[in-house]
Structure formats: structure tokens, C-alpha cells
Chain A
Amino acid sequence: MSQIFHRSTNTLSKFSIFGGTFLAAGGLWLALELTRSPYVTNAGVAREQPVPFSHAHHVGGIGIDCRYCHTSVEKAAYAGIPPTKTCMNCHSQIWSQSPTLEPVRESYRTDKSIEWVKVNDLPDFVYFDHSAHVNKGVGCTTCHGRVDQMPLMWQEKSLQMEWCLDCHRAPEKYVRPRAEVFSVAWQAPPNQLEEGRRLVTEYKIHTRTSCSTCHR
């Protein structure tokens, strides 16, 4: 009786076993990369807004403090998006005829809100609290990046859970002195880990990783 399988079948089967494994692994790797990519997370994608508001100009150029607009960042979960009134505090005086700012003036005139596009958008099942972070020495730029260098706003980080946990598991990597929280130019010192550990103790930072910390 002759052989049923040709000798080349050996090579073929070896190749397909190895090939299949690599293909599966490669596919998995691709999928994981994809879910972490800006295509899914939107990180680094500048958003179109009704008014091309520039943080680079207002923060970097003029030097307005974050809290002038984001008033509730120290006392509530939401940092707060400024009401039209805040814009008009200045823009009723300067650039008051600028066509770019017409939507702002229209909003003020008609009492209809400006609808901004949410840039840093957490899923609805995540309950993040700005005040808890800001009061414990997590700087604005740690999560939001150098907003003073963003002409249009984009989301700096992935905002995925592994990114949250990175800090919650080792806060010393990121905490800074409270006085520097709103400083956009702050740079981590070379001995950040050592300094961070000191601040974690001093600020009594007990980061929690239980699910109900953020999901409820």
C-alpha cells in the first residue's frame, strides 16, 4: 500500500502549525495594539469646536490660571466648563467684534449654551473625581498634557483603565507638590520616585484599586 500523504505534507504541516501560532499571536497583538491606538482612544486627536478656543494662547500666552475657567476642579468631581459669561468677561472688551467669537456673543445674546465637543470623555460607568486628585498633588498636566502648547484641545492620554491603574498602583511616579498642581511648566525632578514617596506619605495618599473606587 502506497503512502497516503506525500512527503511534502510533513513540511506543510510543520509550517502550518508554526504559521498558525504566529498568525494567532500576531492577530492578538494587532487587536491589542488597535484598542490602544488613537484610532480607538482618540488620544492626540485635536477636536473641532464651535469656537476654535486656544489653550496655547490663553494659558501659554496670557497665563490665565486653570481655575479661572475650570472653577469647580478643587471642590467637585467635574472641573467645570466655563459659562459663556466667563468668556464675555474679557471678550466684551477685547476682540469684541471678532467674527470668530460670534458664536460666543450669540450665545450670550440668545441665552443659548455653546455646545462644546467633549475632549476627555470617560465612559458613563466611570466615576472620576477631579477634586480628589487635584487636592492630593496630581497636576493638571499629568493627565491633560501641556495644554499651554495645544492650539486646539486634544486628549493627551489613552484614558484607559490600565493607564489609571498605572498611577493608582504607584502614585509616587506622578505626584507633585500641591503648590505645583496648576503649574503647566512643572517638570518632574530627577529624584521623582524619592520625592514622590515623601509626598505620598505627607499627603496621606491611599490610592485604591478596588473596583468600586471608580465603578458603582
Chain B
Amino acid sequence: MSAESRLVPAIKLDLSGVRRRLDGTQRRTYWKSLEELAETPEFLEFLHREFPRQADEFTDPAGRREFLRVMGASLALAGLTACTKQPEEKIVPYVKQPEEIVPGRPLYFATAVLDGGYAKGVLVESHMGRPTKIEGNPEHPASLGATDAQGQAAVLGLYDPDRSQTVRSYGEIRSWQEFLAVLKPALAKQKPISGAGLRILTETLTSPTLAKQLEDVLAEYPQASWHQYEPAAADNARAGALLAFGEAVETRRNFDKADVILAIDADFIGGGPANVRHIRDFATRRKIRGEQAQLNRLYAIESSPTLVGANADHRLPIRPSEVEGAVRQIATLLGLAVSGGSAAHAAWVGPMVKDLQAHAGASLVIAGESLSPAAHALVHAINERLGNVGKTLSYSTPVAAAPCDQSASLQELVAAMSANKVDILLVLGGNPVYNAPADVPFREAMMRVPLRIRLGLYDDETSERCHWQLPEAHPLETWSDARAYDGSATILQPLIAPLYGGKSAHEVLATLTAHADRTSYAIVREHWQARLGPLDFERAWRRTLHDGLLAGSALPEKAVVVKLGDWTRGTPATVPAGLEVAFRVDPSVGDGRFANLGWLQELPKPLSKLTWDNAVLMSLATAKRLGVSSTSNFEGRVESAGEPTPQGTLTDVVEVKSGGRSVRGPAWIVPGHPDGVITIHLGYGRTRVGRVGTGAGFNANLIRTAAAPWWDTGVSVAKTGERRVLACTQDHWSMEGRNIIRAASLEEYAKNPEFVKEMGEEPPQDLTLYPPHPYPGHAWGMAVDLNSCVGCNACVTACQSENNIPVVGKDQVGRGREMHWIRVDRYYAGDPEKPESLETQHQPVLCMHCENAPCEVVCPVAATVHSDEGLNEMVYNRCVGTRYCSNNCPYKVRRFNFYLYQDWDTKTLKMQRNPDVSIRSRGVMEKCTYCVQRINEKRIDAQNEGREIRDGEIQTACQQACPAEAIVFGDQNDAASRVARLKAEPRNYGLLAELNTRPRTSYLAAVRNPNPEMPGPTARSAGQLAAAAGFTPDVADLGDVPERGRSING
């Protein structure tokens, strides 16, 4: 094949097609990607292929040779595989067996994972000393039994083979004693000057013991100082509280008590110390059971699309510079003496404020960290005005130890270092060299410090510039403590001895005081001995460890009153010309601390569905103005006669310039993004972290300044001409515009609860050639409530952790070969050029365990078969890899091991694996099993105890992790079971049930609760959605769009 013949023109996104589709629609049409909406021929071709581009190896000569070589070898070996005898194996019993360990039975230990220093209570499953899985702690207020994706990945962080493994100095392996030998004389010199040259830098801390230790250090060295910095600290929230109340307070929100919620750039779902709890409380008010429908209503004002906007009943996408004006307007409308309001969005804000007033005392307004301190203060005033304080929200003293303005704290440190006032810099955690603001020269200043010591999980960017790198013990392998969002204290207990001899911050701090060489256990225990009292201490200590929580340690509510001040006065902001940029923490890898965790890198981001990269996110209109586009390189088409381009989505790289600094990153269109704004996520562009995270994405910290940490104006974005491939999962396994998502407004639902049934047909049971399967015993089924699902991805990571699912890498994801057994599809409805019209819906899709399973009948080797309980089983040992089953699966939930994706060699990763689930090898199909290992475990337990399996006893991994309780699993033969009752709801429907697959996994349609008085599409009934009012593009140059300016109902 000549190179020329492979020169296929790239697919251009045809917007006229999008427009035409929308014109013809008369009902709510959900779509997953712009390509799908436009139905480009290339996209359709892509859709009709099973696995995008599996034939690629044949077009690449080197690949073909490799294939023939491998094939030759495997043919020669194929006949011999059955003749192997089992190798001899050893049993290695204990010498003295610990009393509580029963081989084959996991133990669970209560501890906590840390999120920005705050504790989220978890139970860790341990198999004979190996922690393997994280579950939520049902008794912990920040968890209530659920977790988030990052919490699930903590166990992978523990076993990460790229963690710092030894004490190093100038890159050379040293010992802890050698380190102490250097530290001691340096400290001795500090003693006479009261530690004037000693500086300690930490991230946000809530650990009472660590705070006390730092206090002790500062008492011993009164001139020393403790600085704090992390890139996403709550500085603005703290400053806002100071303005409003004159003191720093922690705001605690009770979403379960709020009827109307207004979130202003506040992503209470995607992140934060209480997100799991917030999702639970929020989703509790989204449950519809039969006629009971007391839905809450969520309004979102956002300058960057988040899951909160995706779940909102009404969303106002505006520029970051407009947000404060909107807040002031809301305050003014509520009768507060506030100036500076902007009436720009009066049509939206007006009815919304009326709704808030109508629910005074049962409403809740929350402000995100990107808002200015004054806006935060205003939101406090608004909540007080609405009488919400003490009902839907309350205040307490700050949970974090010694809260401060972290940006200022870092700048003080940099100033001191620049002035050569610092002799010893001790960096505990964090990674300031990577994530300090661009205008704070931390890196340069720190080089002036004569002794730089770093305690870190990774030998990273900061370690590289320190004299000493000390390996940090992971929170799962050391004693420590931390507080949750409400102040509840948890004692962290180790699940395993430090894998790499890591030291905890407690132990490092102890070397600064007279108590050197003390263990974390002794330090933490002594601290709590003083708190819990000597009487009955042992019992209280054990109780606290067992529960994972010190009972009654939540901080008491604090009564504070807003004192109006200067901050009420503002001038109406003028929206600046030119682009604005919004910086946000990445929904998967956070501020970069999780960059080396493959589970999180490969986790499709909730809205963009990108993996392995961050991007310059923008709206369609902005992209057109900048002349940038994305090209689906579905077929791995060759761009030039040279090297074939990797598969994935080719996208234009843009250069973002802000204040004389610039970064380059791929542009990515996110429908619903406000126009005139770009969003860049932090956490990428790590240059030194490990084999997974190094080199992924670009570093937004290079243009982020301390003065404008969350958004900035006057940004210029220019196309560079370069193109880059991104791995996005949004178009894979598309479902061709059938009624996959079913949704209605509350009003419509009340009028016609059976609306779901009218959106699809279910063929009669006997309409099949095959004899029916009887299910005399249990019949396992699952119901997923789309009204509860917020799209947070916790289920995906939980499944990956439970079922030993490998990470495949960016290149393989680009080819559509990601291995997730459960995916969360994201659909849009509305006009992609009108961000405010966008409605977003998430849908978790896993194996449907069809009763008439199309996969089973096509398998030539009976590797996928039906169980007597209705499970669609996958027998790995029989599978020969024909992939017929996947070809015949209408849901595209089967995953094929094209290569040996599992890491069979890395010792620590082996330790993470769930011993109850087989490790799959190359050439084998796999898919969701409904966590059959959990079913079997509970079945055997019940049988041994001579009883039936209780409803709710078996929880699948996705169900257990789900903060929204959207997934319910159980026996649908038992009419009283939760799953059977949900399936009897009028909203229940099967995905593609018209194919007569009789799926066991069913969905409950989403019901939104729009305010009829609001403008915007969500307020109208579904039928009118597409018939929106006149369409005027706000972009002057629409280029190749012929229908420019046309009314979309015209």
C-alpha cells in the first residue's frame, strides 16, 4: 500500500450538519459529542466498526512483521498448552498465626484517606496483611459508607512502584542516620538564634497531633516559622469569612435540608473535603419513590463547566469577571444594601431570587473558591438574609490547624529565602516547585537556602532541588490523625509496615525537638492520651480505632453574625474585551498529587471524557473564533507521508499568553462552556513524578499568578499550527440516538408518570427463538437511578480496584481499548452553540446481564454462558478471543485484552490485586460480572449459617462506592427487595429493551425540577426544547457555517 493511498483527508467537524439536525428535531435529543450530532460519514463508519482500528497493525509494515512473528510462535505453541503439568507450589504458613487472621477471610480496618488534609473515613480491606480495597466507613460523617474516585485510588498510591523508596542526598542513596548526622549540627546552630533561620512548609493540615508537634517546635525555636501552601487552598473562603464575621469560620452545609440550592462556581460534587457527604445529602433530595416527589432544585452559576452545572435544573454559564456582579445583584434583589450589581442576567437572576425568597430558611447559597473574598462575604450575608443559618448551613471554628492565607504565607517564605534569612527549609509534603504561582519565584529563592530537606511521597520536582529527599510514609502505612470537614477526628492506623521504610511527618518533626527517634505510634498515642484522659484510655483508644472516629469530636456550631462593611460597595464590573481564563483543579488527578496513579489518569473526566491529558477547554463559539478544531482520527489516518499519527482525537495546540507568560496546550471544545472563557485544569505537566504521570498534559501553574489564582482577564490564545493527539472516550461505543436517556420535568412526570414507557417498547417475553431460562432461585438484577447519579466516577474506580482491571495507557485508550467494566456516559441536550441551553445527563453503563443475551448465542466455544441466577458469565479459560460476543453486544460493555495489559512483574502492584478475582491475560474477553465474587462470598456465608441471603447484604463494588446511592443491586425474584421495588417504579426502563434482550440492569428515568418562571430551555417542557427562541451567534466570524444567524426554529 503506497503512502499516498493512506492520505485520507481529516474529518472536519461539520457544523452545518449539527444545525440541520437540530432544526429537524421536535423533541429533546441527547447527543454525546459534536461529531455524533453532525453525523459525519466518518463518524458513522467509526460507529459501525466494533473496536476502532484493530486492523491498524497490518497497515504498519513493522507491526505486520511483528504480528507474523508472534503468530508463528503462538501457532507452534498452541497445541502444547494443554499438555503442561501444574508446577509444584509451596504453602508457607505462619510460624505463630495471629489470632484474628483466618486465611481467605479479609479483615477491615477503619482509618481515613486525606483530601487536602481533611479526613474522609474509610474501611480498608486487608487480605493477610495486604490492603487491597478501600470502602467508605458508614459511621464517618464525611463518608457514610461511600467514597470518591480519589479515595478508591489511595490503595494504588500506597503500592505505586514509583514512590520515593530511600533517603537520598544529591541523588545518592543515604541512610536516615546520615541525614540525622547532617541535621543535628545544623539545628544546633539554630538553637542560640531561637531558630531564626528555620522554616517549615506544609500543606493544609488538620492533624491535631501534627499541629501540636509544630507548636512544640515553634516553642523551642520561637523565631522559626511555619508556612503553609497548596495550590487549591481555601484562601478566598477564609478571607470572605474574615470580612463578614471578623473571624475565620468553617461553613458546614446541610444539602439534605435545602429545597432550593444556588451554587455559584461551587463544585460541591467534584471535590472538597465533604463532597462525598454533599453528594449523599443532595441525592437524598432527588429520590422519587412512587408518588412521593419532593425534589430539591439546583441553580448553578458557573464560569467553568462542572458536575454541579451538569446536575443543575438551571444553569447560567457566565464569564468569571461577571460572577461578582451577579452575586451583588442577587444580594441587592434580596434587599441587602449592596452596590455594584449587574443587571446583565436579570432575566435569569430575577426569578431565581424569587424562588430563593419563597424558600427562605430552606434554601442554600454556596460560593466557590474562585469567588473574591467580598463575594464570599456577600454569600454569607445572603444566607443570613434568607434565614438559612442554623438550618441549611451552620458555622464552626476552622477545622484546619492554624488556618492562614496560604498564598501570602508562601510569599513571605519566598521573601525570607530571597533575603538569605533562611538556613534550614523543611518541606513536609506538597510540591511547591511544581505548583507555586508563576509570579512567586519559589524555585529560585529556595536555591539560596543552605540546607533544604524534603519529605515527600515521590522524588519529584521539589525533591530534585533539595539536599535531602526523605521517603514519606503513605497514610495507609503510618499512624497519624486528621479531622473531617465537621471536625470529627479520626486516628489513622497503618495497614502495612512502610513498604519503603518511609517516615511520617510526625517522625520528621520529632527530630527537630528533643524527642528524636520516636515512632509515629508513640507520638500519636501520647497526644491522644492527653486528650482522652488516663482513665480508661485504652478502651477509648481502641473504640476510636475500631470506629474510625472519635465519637462526639465534631466541632460545635458557632453563632456568628454578618457585619456589613466596605465589601458591600462595589462598582458595576464592565466585562472586559478579550478572553478570560479560569483555573480549576483537575477532576481526576487533583492539583497534581495523584498524577502518577494510572486509575485516575485513565479515568475519563466527568464532562470532557478526556483521559491522560488536560486541555484548554472552551466553548464551540470561542473555538470557532480562534479557528481551532478537533479532528477525530478514528481510523489512525496518516497526516503526512511520514510516521502514522497515533489514534485518538487530533486537536489544535494553542498558545495561551497571560501577563507575559505562556503555555501551550491542546484546545478542546466542551459544550456548555461559557463563551469568551477558557478553562485550564491544574495537576498536569508534571516533569518528575513517575512512569505514569511524567509528561502528561501541560502545567497551568506556569501562567497562574498569586494575584489571580482562579481566573484572569486579558488572556490571548493563538493557534500554533501544531496538532496533538488526545485520548477521549466520549465517542466510543455510541448508541446512535435511540432513547438511551429518558428524562422529563417534574411537571411532566406528575402528569404522566408512565412517560418512560411511551419512549420505548418492550417486546413480549415469548418473542425469541430460544427456550426461556427458568430462574427458580435468585435472579440478580440492578437498578440505576439516573435521577440520583451525579456522574462523579467513583463507581468506575471502585470497579477497577475490586476487579483487578488494568490500566492500558493513552495510546490504547485512543484506539478505544480502555478496559473499564463500567463507564459513565455523558449526554447533552440542546444547542451546542448556546451554552446556557445545554442540559447534561450522566448514565453509568455496565453489563446488562441480558436474559436473552446476544453475546451468549454467538460464542463458538461457550465461553460466555448464562447462569441459573441470570448472570451472564464470562469463562476466561474457555475464551479464545474471537470477539464475536463483543460484536454482538448492543451495549458495548465487553472489553478485550488486546495485549497483556496486566503488569505481571511489578511486585508491589501484585500486592494490590483482589485475590478473589482472576487476573486476565492477553487475548481474553472480560466484562462486568455483577461482582460475582461478592455474591459467592455472601451466599456461602448465608449457607453456612443456614439462612437465606438478606436483601442488601450483597453490594457490588460500584454500588458500595456510590455516594449518591444511585445503584441498587439485589434479587428481583424477591418482591420485597429494594431492587424489585425500584424496578416496579413507573420510571423504570431497560436500555434498548426493544431489542428483546431483557436486560437485568435497568434505569430509572431522570426527573428534573425546573422552575416554570425561569427562562431557558430546562424550564420548558421537553417537547419544546429544540424550538428555542431566535438564535444570534455572539461571534462575528462564523466562517464556514452557512446557516449563520439563522433562527433554529426557522
**Complex interface: chain A residues within 8 A of B918 (CB):** 124-125, 215-216
**At the interface, yes or no: B916 with Cβ under 8 Å from chain A?**
yes
The docked-state distance in angstroms from the alpha carbon of A39 to that of B868 is: 35
With A83-B96, A131-B944 given, name 9 new contacts (CB 8 A): A78-B103, A108-B95, A116-B93, A121-B88, A123-B86, A124-B918, A125-B918, A132-B940, A204-B943
**At the interface, yes or no: A81 with Cβ under 8 Å from chain B?**
yes
Contact A83 B85 (CB under 8 A): no
The docked-state distance in angstroms from the alpha carbon of A77 to that of B944 is: 12
How distant is B201 from chain A, measured CB to nearest CB, in Å?
42
**Complex interface: chain A residues within 8 A of B104 (CB):** 72, 76-78
> B118-130: contact bitstring with A at CB < 8 Å (1 yes, 0 no)?
0000000000000
Contact B873 A136 (CB under 8 A): no
**At the interface, yes or no: B162 with Cβ under 8 Å from chain A?**
no
**At the interface, yes or no: A213 with Cβ under 8 Å from chain B?**
yes
**At the interface, yes or no: B177 with Cβ under 8 Å from chain A?**
no
**Complex interface: chain A residues within 8 A of B401 (CB):** none
Q: Which of B93, B103, B869, B877 has the most CB of A within 10 A?
A: B93
Given contacts A75-B105, A216-B918, A216-B929, contact A82 B93 (CB under 8 A): yes
Within 8 A of A (CB), among B816-870: 865, 867-869
**At the interface, yes or no: A187 with Cβ under 8 Å from chain B?**
no
The docked-state distance in angstroms from the alpha carbon of A135 to that of B89 is: 27
**At the interface, yes or no: B871 with Cβ under 8 Å from chain A?**
yes
Contact A113 B916 (CB under 8 A): no
Q: Which of A40, A112, A114, A210 has the most CB of B within 10 A?
A: A210
The docked-state distance in angstroms from the alpha carbon of A112 to that of B946 is: 39
**Complex interface: chain A residues within 8 A of B908 (CB):** none
The docked-state distance in angstroms from the alpha carbon of A216 to that of B89 is: 21
Contact A113 B95 (CB under 8 A): yes
**At the interface, yes or no: B767 with Cβ under 8 Å from chain A?**
no
The docked-state distance in angstroms from the alpha carbon of A113 to that of B93 is: 6
How distant is B421 from chain A, measured CB to nearest CB, in Å?
52
Q: Which residue of chain B is the closest to A35 with respect to CB atoms?
A: B82
**At the interface, yes or no: B567 with Cβ under 8 Å from chain A?**
no
**At the interface, yes or no: B932 with Cβ under 8 Å from chain A?**
yes
Q: Which residue of chain B is the closest to A48 with respect to CB atoms?
A: B88
The docked-state distance in angstroms from the alpha carbon of A204 to that of B947 is: 10
Contact A113 B97 (CB under 8 A): no
Q: Which residue of chain B is the closest to A40 with respect to CB atoms?
A: B85
How distant is B110 from chain A, measured CB to nearest CB, in Å?
22
**At the interface, yes or no: B542 with Cβ under 8 Å from chain A?**
no
The docked-state distance in angstroms from the alpha carbon of A211 to that of B871 is: 10
**At the interface, yes or no: A118 with Cβ under 8 Å from chain B?**
yes
**At the interface, yes or no: B102 with Cβ under 8 Å from chain A?**
yes
**Complex interface: chain B residues within 8 A of A85 (CB):** 94-97
Q: Which residue of chain A is the closest to B941 with respect to CB atoms?
A: A131
Given contacts A72-B102, A131-B944, contact A118 B91 (CB under 8 A): yes
Within 8 A of A (CB), among B72-110: 82, 85-86, 88-97, 102-105
Within 8 A of B (CB), among A56-89: 72, 74-78, 80-85
Interface size class, chain B: 35 or more
Contact A131 B90 (CB under 8 A): no
**At the interface, yes or no: A111 with Cβ under 8 Å from chain B?**
yes
**Complex interface: chain A residues within 8 A of B102 (CB):** 72, 75-76, 80
Contact A42 B86 (CB under 8 A): yes
Given contacts A76-B103, A115-B92, A216-B917, contact A210 B943 (CB under 8 A): no
**At the interface, yes or no: B246 with Cβ under 8 Å from chain A?**
no
Given contacts A42-B86, A132-B943, contact A114 B93 (CB under 8 A): yes
Contact B932 A216 (CB under 8 A): yes
Query: Which one of B90, B875, B933, B940 contacts A118 once the chains associate, using CB atoms below 8 Å?
Result: B90
Q: Which residue of chain A is the closest to B87 with respect to CB atoms?
A: A121
Query: Which one of B85, B88, B876, B917 contacts A117 once the chains associate, using CB atoms below 8 Å?
Result: B88
Q: Which residue of chain B is the closest to A123 with respect to CB atoms?
A: B86
**Complex interface: chain B residues within 8 A of A169 (CB):** none
The docked-state distance in angstroms from the alpha carbon of A125 to that of B920 is: 10
Given contacts A75-B105, A135-B944, contact A112 B95 (CB under 8 A): yes
Contact B867 A210 (CB under 8 A): yes
Within 8 A of B (CB), among A159-208: 204, 206, 208
**Complex interface: chain B residues within 8 A of A142 (CB):** none
A contact residues vs B (CB 8 Å cutoff): 35, 39-40, 42, 72, 74-78, 80-85, 107-108, 111-118, 121, 123-125, 127, 129, 131-132, 135-136, 204, 206, 208-213, 215-216
Query: Which one of A76, A81, A84, A135 contacts B943 once the chains associate, using CB atoms below 8 Å?
Result: A135
Given contacts A76-B104, A76-B105, A216-B929, contact A84 B93 (CB under 8 A): yes
**At the interface, yes or no: B659 with Cβ under 8 Å from chain A?**
no
Contact B944 A75 (CB under 8 A): yes
**At the interface, yes or no: B936 with Cβ under 8 Å from chain A?**
yes
**Complex interface: chain B residues within 8 A of A113 (CB):** 92-95
Main secondary structure of the interface of B (DSSP, over half): loop
How distant is B263 from chain A, measured CB to nearest CB, in Å?
42
**At the interface, yes or no: B952 with Cβ under 8 Å from chain A?**
no
**At the interface, yes or no: B450 with Cβ under 8 Å from chain A?**
no
Q: Which of B92, B777, B936 has the most CB of A within 10 A?
A: B936
Q: Can you list 14 A-B pairs, Cβ within 8 angstroms, ordered by A?
A: A75-B944, A76-B105, A78-B104, A80-B102, A81-B93, A83-B95, A84-B95, A116-B92, A117-B88, A117-B89, A124-B918, A204-B943, A211-B873, A215-B876
The docked-state distance in angstroms from the alpha carbon of A48 to that of B261 is: 72
The docked-state distance in angstroms from the alpha carbon of A135 to that of B93 is: 24
Contact A212 B95 (CB under 8 A): no
Query: Which one of B88, B95, B940 contacts A107 once the chains associate, using CB atoms below 8 Å?
Result: B95
How distant is A113 from chain B, measured CB to nearest CB, in Å?
5
Q: Which residue of chain B is the closest to A129 with respect to CB atoms?
A: B940
> B914-942: contact bitstring with A at CB < 8 Å (1 yes, 0 no)?
00111000000000010011001000100
Given contacts A76-B105, A125-B918, A213-B936, contact A118 B89 (CB under 8 A): yes
Contact A211 B940 (CB under 8 A): no
Contact A136 B86 (CB under 8 A): no
Query: Which one of A80, A129, A216 contacts B103 once the chains associate, using CB atoms below 8 Å?
Result: A80
**Complex interface: chain A residues within 8 A of B91 (CB):** 81, 115-118
How distant is A27 from chain B, measured CB to nearest CB, in Å?
13
How distant is A161 from chain B, measured CB to nearest CB, in Å?
10
Given contacts A76-B102, A116-B93, contact A131 B88 (CB under 8 A): no
Contact B867 A212 (CB under 8 A): yes
Contact A117 B90 (CB under 8 A): yes
Contact A206 B96 (CB under 8 A): no
Contact A83 B936 (CB under 8 A): no
The docked-state distance in angstroms from the alpha carbon of A108 to that of B97 is: 12
**Complex interface: chain B residues within 8 A of A42 (CB):** 85-86
Within 8 A of A (CB), among B676-697: none
* Ranked 3 nearest A-B pairs via Cβ: A210-B867, A83-B94, A77-B104
> B690-718: contact bitstring with A at CB < 8 Å (1 yes, 0 no)?
00000000000000000000000000000
**Complex interface: chain B residues within 8 A of A121 (CB):** 86, 88-89
**Complex interface: chain A residues within 8 A of B93 (CB):** 80-84, 113-114, 116
Contact A127 B936 (CB under 8 A): yes
The docked-state distance in angstroms from the alpha carbon of A28 to that of B871 is: 35
**Complex interface: chain A residues within 8 A of B877 (CB):** 125, 215
**Complex interface: chain A residues within 8 A of B868 (CB):** 208-210
**Complex interface: chain A residues within 8 A of B777 (CB):** 206
How distant is A147 from chain B, measured CB to nearest CB, in Å?
16
**Complex interface: chain B residues within 8 A of A114 (CB):** 92-93
